[in-house]
C-alpha cells in the first residue's frame, strides 16, 4: 500500500516584503502628485465644487417637487408636474455633463479658466 504525500503548506509571505512594496507604491504616487503641481489640485477643487453645487441644486429641486406633488388637486396636474420635473432634470443633467467634460478637458490641458 502506497502512502499519499501530505499536501504542501503554502509559504507565508514575509510581511516586511509586503510593507516595502507598499512603501514603494506610496513613494511613486507622491512623486506623481508632486509633478502635477498645485494647479492640478486647484482644478480638482473646482471640479468637485461644481459637482457639489449641482447635487445641492438637484436636492433642492427634489424637495420642491415633493411639495408640488403634495399640493396637486388632480391626476392631470400631478402628471404635468412630474413631466416638467423629468424634462428639466434631463436638461440639467445633460448641461452639467457638458460642463464637467469641458472642465475635465481643461484640467488635462492645464488651462482651466475662471
Predicted pLDDT of residue 114: 44
pLDDT beyond 90 at 6: no
Give the max Cα distance, the chain.
Answer: 89
CA distance 72 to 114: 42
pLDDT, average across residues 41-57: 90
Give the cell for residue 36. Answer: 502635477
Task: Report residue 48's pLDDT band, with 50, 70 and 90 as the boundaries.
Answer: very high
Instruction: Check residues 21 and 74 and name the one with the higher pLDDT.
Output: 74
CA distance 78 to 101: 34
Predicted pLDDT of residue 2: 67
Q: Are 69 and 81 in contact (CB under 8 A)?
A: yes
User: Would you say the pTM of this structure is higher than 0.75?
Assistant: no
Q: Which of 10-19, 25-34, 37-46, 87-96 has the highest mean pLDDT?
A: 87-96
Predicted pLDDT of residue 96: 96
- Domain-by-domain residue ranges, the chain? 38-109
Instruction: Check residues 61 and 40 and name the one with the higher pLDDT.
Output: 61
Amino acid at each position: 500500500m502506497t502512502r499519499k504525500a501530505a499536501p504542501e503548506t503554502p509559504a507565508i509571505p514575509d510581511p516586511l516584503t509586503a510593507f516595502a512594496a507598499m512603501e514603494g507604491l506610496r513613494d511613486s504616487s507622491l512623486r506623481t502628485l508632486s509633478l502635477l503641481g498645485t494647479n492640478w489640485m486647484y482644478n480638482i477643487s473646482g471640479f468637485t465644487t461644481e459637482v457639489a453645487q449641482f447635487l445641492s441644486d438637484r436636492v433642492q429641486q427634489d424637495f420642491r417637487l415633493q411639495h408640488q406633488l403634495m399640493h396637486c388637486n388632480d391626476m392631470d396636474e400631478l402628471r404635468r408636474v412630474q413631466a416638467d420635473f423629468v424634462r428639466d432634470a434631463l436638461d440639467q443633467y445633460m448641461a452639467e455633463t457638458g460642463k464637467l467634460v469641458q472642465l475635465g478637458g481643461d484640467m488635462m490641458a492645464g488651462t482651466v479658466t475662471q
